[in-house]
Structure 1
Amino acid sequence: MLLSLVVHTYSLRYWFPATIMLGTAPAYLLSWGAWRLLSTVLPARVYHKLDDRLYCIYQSMVLFFFENYTGVEIVIYGDIPKNKENVIYLSNHQCTADWIIADMLAIRQSAIGHVRYVLKDGLKWLPLYGWYFSQHGGIYVKRSAKFNEKAMKKKLSTQTQSGAPMYLVIFPEGTRYNPELKNVIADSQAFATKEGLAVLKHTLTPRMKASHIAIETMRGHLDAVYDVTVAYEGTLGPSGRRKPAPSMPEFLCKECPRVHIHFDRVDIEEIPPEPVFFRRWLHERFEMKDRLLTDFYESEDADKIHKFPREGKPSPLKLSKTLPSVLILGGLTLPLLMTENGRKLYVRTWVYGTLLGWLWVNIFP
């Protein structure tokens, strides 16, 4: 009985925030849908402005749980620009919580509403979210020969021409680095060897296509590339071997005490446009990440392990930036659930919104 109580209490640590984040989605989608209909007669720039504001509200609520609720300490190495910029965010990829890290940096620039993602194609089937991410400017891509270069260029061009602010998040590795998946790491290293590239130990070999298309399609619209390296503390086992990074439920269960974020801003003019040179540039950036992560996980100096070079500065997120969003979305959701008609509308939004969304993202990729 005691063990059952402990397990139940542990599960509540992530079921509580997960229920609120998922539970407010229909109310959010209804609010966004009303604005989408009203804005059809308005310039695209006006639509994007309020859409970004609505997205800011929802993602700020998400960060309330992933930062304030968990109490995780965010340590940043490097100086994040104070002003908003149009950027591409390139990062190593190791778990489902990685996309939250992009939000964590963006909110510190007051740019969280501008965040958009390049996502693997399978995520478009997520109920409600898969469709909405596409509507907010997210781009779904397939790997290798199935990659639709034309569709990606078209969507990016449409957004830049309408003046949409851009904080485009890309994980060039294409899949998550998991130290337990030896075959994935071996295949990645074999590919690097075949192509004459440096073999990486703590990241996978980056794929260049999506990053190169994004940068070249939006070059005149972009200010910089944010090169970000993330390490989750608590992922070093007793034997000294690296363990998998925390999943989102594990993160919400407060199993990650500290996240280390190495930030480097690269001016867009410094990035070579030619594919051959861009590929070399991107791989060199990942070689730098690999060295950072090797020192982080394997340094024999007790003062350097679990740290990146340079001085890391803790960056607490003020409650005033996230709590109002929880109250706003809760205030929109509760009235729906308090009446029978409201509950029916709530359920229908989940069901019909999901079905229509699945059709939409497949007809209009």
Structure 2
Amino acid sequence: MLLSLVVHSYSLRYWLPAAVMLGTAPAYLLSWSACRLLSSVLPARLYHTVDDRVYSVYQSMVLFFFENYTGVEIVIYGDIPKKKENVVYLSNHQSTADWIIADMLAIRQNALGHVRYVLKDGLKWLPLYGWYFAQHGGVYVKRSAKFDEKAMKKKLLSQAKLGIPMYLVIFPEGTRYNPELKKVIEDSQAFATKEGLAVLKHILTPRMKASHVAIETMKDHLDAVYDITVAYEGTLTADGQRRSAPTMPEFLCKECPKVHIYFQRVDMREIPQEPLFFRRWLHERFEIKDKLLKTFYEAEDPEKKCRFPGEGRRSSLSLTKTLPSLLILGGLTLPMLLTESGRKLYFNTWLYGTLIGWVWVHLSP
């Protein structure tokens, strides 16, 4: 009985926040749809401003759970600009929670609504979310030969011409680094060897297409590239071996005590535009990441292990930035669930919103 209670309590750590985040999606979609309808007769740039504000409400609520609720300690190395900038955010990729880290940095610049993602094409089929991410300016891409460069350029260029604020998140590795998946790591290293590039140990060989297209297409709109290296504390075993990073459920179950974020700002003037030189530049940036992670996981000095070089500072997120969003979305959702007509609207939004979204993403290029 006691063991069952412990297991049940542990599962609630994940299911409760997951239920709230997913459960408020219909209320959010209906609110966004109303804003979209009202702004349809207004200039497109004004609509995107409203969309960014509405989006920041939902993402702030997400951060309430991933940061305030979990109590995770965020340690940042480097100085994050206080002012908002138009940027491409490049990061190593090791967890389903990596996209949350981008939100954590963006909210500290008051730029949370500007965050957009370059996503794997399969994610566009997520109920409600897949369609909306595209509406918010996200870009779905396929790998290798199926990559549609023309479609990505068209979407990003249209947003740049409107002057839409951009915080575009890209994970150039394309797939997550998991030390347990030896075949993926070996294939990545073999690719680097074949291409005459340095072999990386703690990250995968970056692919350049999406990053190059994004930076080249929006070069006159962007202020900088944010080069981010992330390490999750607690991913080193007792015998000194690296294990897989926490998944989103594990993160919400408070299994990650601390996240280390190494921040580097790269001015646009430092980035080569020609594809061959850009490829070398991008790989060199990932070589730097690999060295940072080697220090984090393999430093001989115990005081330097599980931290990046330099001075890290703890950065906490005030409840005033997240709790109001939770109350707003909760206040919109609960009344719907308390009446028969509200519940009908709620479930119809899930059903028909998902179906319409699937039709849209199927027909959309």
User: Which TM-score bucket, shorter chain as reference?
Assistant: over 0.9
Task: Indicate yes or no: 2:4 matched with 1:4.
Answer: yes
Matched ranges for 1:63-142 at <5 A: 63-142=63-142
Task: Indicate yes or no: 2:31 matched with 1:31.
Answer: yes
Corresponding residue for residue 234 of structure 1: 234
Q: Which runs of 4+ in 1 moved over 4 A?
A: none
Matched ranges for 1:195-206 at <5 A: 195-206=195-206
Q: Alignment identity in percent?
A: 79
After the TM superposition, which of the residue ranges 355-364 and 27-36 deviates more from structure 2? 355-364
Task: Indicate yes or no: 2:299 matched with 1:311.
Answer: no
Q: Using the TM superposition, give the Cα deviation of residue 139 of structure 1 relative to its aligned residue in structure 2, in angstroms.
A: 0.4
Matched ranges for 1:235-274 at <5 A: 235-274=235-274
Q: Using the TM superposition, give the Cα deviation of residue 40 of structure 1 relative to its aligned residue in structure 2, in angstroms.
A: 1.5
Corresponding residue for residue 178 of structure 1: 178
State the Cα deviation string for residues 156-204 of structure 1 (Å, max 9, x = none).
Answer: 0111111210000000000000000000000000000000000000000
CA distance in 2, matches of 1:289, 1:137: 28
CA distance in 2, matches of 1:138, 1:359: 17
Q: Using the TM superposition, give the Cα deviation of residue 298 of structure 1 relative to its aligned residue in structure 2, in angstroms.
A: 0.6
Instruction: State the AA in 1 paired with 2:80.
Output: I
Secondary structure in structure 2 of the residue aligned to 1:75: strand
CA distance in 1, matches of 2:188, 2:274: 24
CA distance in 1, matches of 2:19, 2:132: 19
Corresponding residue for residue 357 of structure 1: 357
CA distance in 1, matches of 2:134, 2:199: 34
Corresponding residue for residue 154 of structure 2: 154
Secondary structure in structure 2 of the residue aligned to 1:283: helix
Instruction: State the AA in 2 paired with 1:124.
Output: K
Q: Using the TM superposition, give the Cα deviation of residue 335 of structure 1 relative to its aligned residue in structure 2, in angstroms.
A: 1.2
Corresponding residue for residue 43 of structure 2: 43
Instruction: State the AA in 2 paired with 1:168.
Output: L
Q: Using the TM superposition, give the Cα deviation of residue 243 of structure 1 relative to its aligned residue in structure 2, in angstroms.
A: 0.4
Q: Using the TM superposition, give the Cα deviation of residue 303 of structure 1 relative to its aligned residue in structure 2, in angstroms.
A: 1.2
Instruction: State the AA in 1 paired with 2:227.
Output: D
Q: In structure 2, list runs of 5 or more residues that go unmatched.
A: none
Q: Give the TM-score of the pair, scaled to structure 2.
A: 0.99
Q: Using the TM superposition, give the Cα deviation of residue 269 of structure 1 relative to its aligned residue in structure 2, in angstroms.
A: 1.1
Q: Using the TM superposition, give the Cα deviation of residue 249 of structure 1 relative to its aligned residue in structure 2, in angstroms.
A: 0.4
How many residues align? The count is 365
CA distance in 2, matches of 1:140, 1:41: 28
Q: In structure 1, list runs of 5 or more residues that go unmatched.
A: none
State the Cα deviation string for residues 236-275 of structure 1 (Å, max 9, x = none).
Answer: 0112110000000000000000000000000011100000
CA distance in 1, matches of 2:352, 2:168: 29
Task: Indicate yes or no: 2:214 matched with 1:214.
Answer: yes
The CA RMSD measured in Å over matched residues stands at 0.6
State the Cα deviation string for residues 36-90 of structure 1 (Å, max 9, x = none).
Answer: 1121111111000010000000000000000000000000000000000000000
CA distance in 2, matches of 1:358, 1:271: 38
Q: Using the TM superposition, give the Cα deviation of residue 359 of structure 1 relative to its aligned residue in structure 2, in angstroms.
A: 1.1
Secondary structure in structure 2 of the residue aligned to 1:41: coil
Secondary structure in structure 1 of the residue aligned to 2:90: strand
Q: Using the TM superposition, give the Cα deviation of residue 149 of structure 1 relative to its aligned residue in structure 2, in angstroms.
A: 0.5
